Structure formats: structure tokens, C-alpha cells
Amino acid sequence: MPHYLLSVHHGDGDALPDGVDPQSVFAAVEAFNSRLEADGVLVYAGGLQPASTARTAHRDGEVTEGPRLSGEEYMGGFWVVQAADDAAAMELAKAAVATGCSWAVEVRPFQTG
């Protein structure tokens, strides 16, 4: 079955919208993770530390502090799932949003072959 990256992007300072209780989001995401695991589609999931903690290794051997790309939003967490096709992966992303993830979820298939 193909693997897909479901990624959540947000800024370092606005990981949760105003008024959203972090514990309720963590509980909802944990419940979603448990559902994915029970359904046999979860490969791996993780939340990331803020982008400000990133370091980047470059081709010339240089190491710089901070993320490789600059922008207002960075990947804050992700799931790697297996799904029958693009539509099934999108349904998982929609379920992530509906069950408590506070941000949009991007879906990208992994390369094969």
C-alpha cells in the first residue's frame, strides 16, 4: 500500500489558535493516533519542536542555525500513513482536522520505485 505524509504547518508563535486548550488538542490527536494504529494504517507520527530549534547542514559542509526555508509557517507535526490511494489518504487528513487538529493538513505521497 502506498505511504503518504500528512503534515501540519503553523508558525512558532501560533501553534494553537487563540482560546484553544492545548491539552484538549493533545488528547484529540492521541485519540486519532490510536484510531490510525487500530486501523493498521499508521506508520509513524510525531510532533516537532519549534522551527527556531532547527539546524541545517549544507552541501559545502556548512551548518547554519534555523530552518532551511524561511517563512511564516513551518511543519509542526506529521503522520506517515499507508492508504489505498490519494482519496483514502485525503479522508485520513480530513479526519485529522475533524478530530481536533487545529490546522490544515497537507497530503503528499511518497515516491515509489
Spatial distance between the Cα atoms of 50 and 38, rounded to a whole number of angstroms: 29
Q: Which domain holds residue 44?
A: 3-109
Phi, psi torsion values for 22, nearest 5 degrees: -60, -40
At residue 14, the pLDDT reads 67
d(C-alpha 83, C-alpha 41), whole Å: 7
Number of domains in the chain: 1
CATH number at residue 53: 3.30.70.1060
List Cβ neighbours of 107 (8 Å cut-off, separation of 6 or more). 4, 5, 6, 86, 89, 90, 93
Mean pLDDT on 3-30: 84
Higher-pLDDT residue of 99, 38: 38
